[in-house]
Structure 1
Amino acid sequence: MNLGQFLVLQFIAHVLADFFFQTDRLAIQKNELGFRSPFLKWHILIVFLFSWGLSFQTRFVYGALIIALTHFMIDGSKPWISKNRIIGRYSFFIDQALHVLMLVSVTVAYAYYAELDAWVNIPIGIKGLIGVFAYLLCLKPANIFIKEMFRAYQISVPGTDDLPNAGKLIGVLERVLVLTFILLKQFEAVGFLIAAKSILRYKNDDTIKTEYVLIGTMLSFGIAVLLGLLIGFV
């Protein structure tokens, strides 16, 4: 195992623990109550287990413990960040930036001072692991990222009767398709998908909703395109 594989595996562990293994309800509770949240300790245990397990190294138990403890401090302090009048709307991005900073710091420091000696052979190369990471990001994390972008810029659509989960599913499908087409170098198919999405129309007097969908679509396609380009550069 090299440093690149080790680092990407830790990113995958973070995405799984922070997005897939907690429900929206529990995440909201944790973000509102901070250290007082009964779910926080279980969330930190999940973070630790994924970080240690996906390191495939027994000695990384201490590194995983540091990542979990700093995760605890960051998540526990999030209510104070969210209530700040200046930076409160950016609390999600600050939270994730701090998590990534600590994850990278601990991982690189461990790789520098200790030998990367996995107890199992990792059959997937760095490009394959980044591919797995990219597809995971295209699912639930991308939906949350887009929602938080709307929140940060105070964009909302009042009085809509659309099913919220339908929009999430559409976003997931289009990102997965765009990423797959880019990896297969089928750029014409990406253009076709964008053209097909443009068929969606609203009434002329529904400008706010049209702009909302346009912004969401651009963010969604942009995430998939950037991830596809990232994999292509590896």
Structure 2
Amino acid sequence: MTILLLLLAHFIADFWLQSDQMVKHKIKYLKKHMIHHLLTTGIALVFIWGYSYEFQHVFRYFILPLAFINVTHLLIDWLKIKLVNANKISNLTSLGYFLLDQALHVLMILIAGILFFQMQTSEMAASLADLYGEARLNLFDATLLLLIIYILATSVSGHIVKYIIGSFPSELANFAGALTLRNQMNHAAGTNEPQTENNFTEEYHYYTYSAPLRSHGKWIGYIERLLVILLTAIGAYESIAFIIAAKSIARFKQLDDRNWAEYFLLGTLSSILLGLVLGLVVQKMIL
């Protein structure tokens, strides 16, 4: 319960309470971001402190872990900002920094559990192994884990997919279709000159673009991964193909453009893969 509560508090502060504007201007909003972590981690620690330790030893079970988690979080974020700002990095490198950043935050939470809540590494490993054995999580822990998986499937996976596919030119991202008109004209038409074979054809290429609906695409990705998790959990793997087919039909005209098609395929396959991995975790919880 302790680790799951602290992880949930971290993901809520890092993804639900942190806007895109805060991510883009990390230094400017770093103080606000840390306040979010202070509040969410504090609420989680109050619950742990009261439930497990009956509000005794406030310094050991509340103040020290709260300070440790937030100070280490600040240091990790500051180091990441310095590394990103100091170098011009690719999308895959940004993904690496993102995953390393999250892994370090999770590691600090695990260390806090060992230092302040007398948790043993062997106990943590055994609890993780329970997901793949006969033992089952209690209702409260299962609810916490499902909430974490929901955040991983929506906000966290959304960031990962965005890093994988990278930025895409807006004229292609919003491309809706193309139209070519041919007009055959006679050079001597309307004149007193004798008719000749001096004909030529003009071609006009028109490209139509849809208005950018980034929020719609984000929610489509969220629902897509949640459906994949559900279908994987119940073992209906073949039904996942219908999700891909439905997306392809909706984007049928845009698939004529090879660059856009590759962009679409990379994003879809990445999203499906993340959904499958999380779906297998849920499957082990319920079987």
Query: How would you bin the TM-score normalised by the shorter chain?
Result: 0.7 to 0.9
Partner of 1:120: none
Shift of 1:71: 1.0
29, 38, 56: which one aligns with 2:25 = 29
Partner of 2:168: 156
Q: Report matched runs for 1:134-173 at 5 Å.
A: 134-151=149-166, 156-157=168-169, 159=171, 160-161=173-174, 162-173=212-223
Identity %: 30
Larger Cα-atom Rg = 2
32, 52, 64: which one aligns with 2:42 = 52
Q: CA distance change for structure 1 residues 113 and 180 in 2, over 3 Å: closer, same or farther?
A: closer
197, 210, 215: which one aligns with 2:266 = 215
Q: CA distance change for structure 1 residues 185 and 129 in 2, over 3 Å: closer, same or farther?
A: farther
Q: Report matched runs for 1:40-189 at 5 Å.
A: 40-55=30-45, 56-58=47-49, 59-82=61-84, 83-85=86-88, 89=94, 90-112=96-118, 124-151=139-166, 156-157=168-169, 159=171, 160-161=173-174, 162-189=212-239
CA distance, structure 2, for counterparts of residue 204 and residue 181 of structure 1: 26
Letter paired with 1:103: I
CA distance, structure 1, for counterparts of residue 114 and residue 152 of structure 2: 22
SS at match of 2:263: helix
CA distance, structure 2, for counterparts of residue 211 and residue 174 of structure 1: 19
Per-residue Cα deviation, 1:30-74 (whole angstroms, up to 9, x for no partner): 1xx3xxx3x222211221221232242232332122111111112
Letter paired with 1:7: I
Aligned pairs, number: 214
SS at match of 2:117: helix
CA distance, structure 2, for counterparts of residue 109 and residue 224 of structure 1: 34
Higher relative contact order (CA 8 A, sep 6+): 1
Answering whether residue 23 of structure 2 is matched by residue 8 of structure 1, we say no
Cα contact 1:146–1:219 (8 A) shared by 2:
yes
Q: Unaligned stretches of 5+ in structure 1?
A: 115-122
Q: CA distance change for structure 1 residues 231 and 214 in 2, over 3 Å: closer, same or farther?
A: same
Q: TM-score, normalization: structure 1?
A: 0.79
Q: CA distance change for structure 1 residues 203 and 128 in 2, over 3 Å: closer, same or farther?
A: closer
Shift of 1:124: 3.0
Q: Tell me which protein shows more strand as a share of its residues.
A: 2
Of 159-168 and 7-16, deviating more is 159-168
Cα contact 1:127–1:231 (8 A) shared by 2:
no
Letter paired with 2:87: N
Q: CA distance change for structure 1 residues 218 and 230 in 2, over 3 Å: closer, same or farther?
A: same
Per-residue Cα deviation, 1:82-115 (whole angstroms, up to 9, x for no partner): 133568633322322221221222123333269x
